[in-house]
Amino acid sequence: MMTGTITNRRAHLVRPVRGAGGSGNVEFTIDTGYTALLTMPPTYCTALKLKFVQRDRSFLADGSFVWTNTYEVIIDWDGEEREVDIIAIESDPLIGMTMLDGYRMERDVKENR
């Protein structure tokens, strides 16, 4: 089981990540409207020296698309290390629904104070 927080009415989950350049904890926002695995800002991907996978189009919520780079990251996910693709995009780090596949998510929406 993983436990997160609610801040400004958004669910957050801090997960350890690592790449060739080091490791760190990243606070991801859980985005139930995002269907892929994970996103992080390009600066995070550069700092961690993540392995480049491909350049591709990413479709945004408004229907438009942007060109993005995909990298491999190692994430501690529920006590197990998983190597997954992450899309580098200028936004808050996100966890998408594909990453949550097979998990039950419960939220008690009460602001942390």
Mean pLDDT value of segment 32-53: 93
Contact 111, 7 (CB under 8 A): yes
Q: Say if residue 1's pLDDT is above 90.
A: no
* Average pLDDT score over the chain: 90
Band the pLDDT of 111: cuts 50, 70, 90.
Answer: low
Rounded (to 5) percent helix, strand, coil in the chain:
5, 50, 45
- Distance of alpha carbon 72 from alpha carbon 61, whole angstroms: 23
Band the pLDDT of 21: cuts 50, 70, 90.
Answer: very high
Mean pLDDT value of segment 22-42: 92
Looking at the domain that runs over 10-95, which CATH code has it been given?
2.40.70.10
Mean pLDDT value of segment 60-81: 92
Band the pLDDT of 20: cuts 50, 70, 90.
Answer: very high
Mean pLDDT value of segment 29-34: 88
> Model-level pTM?
0.86
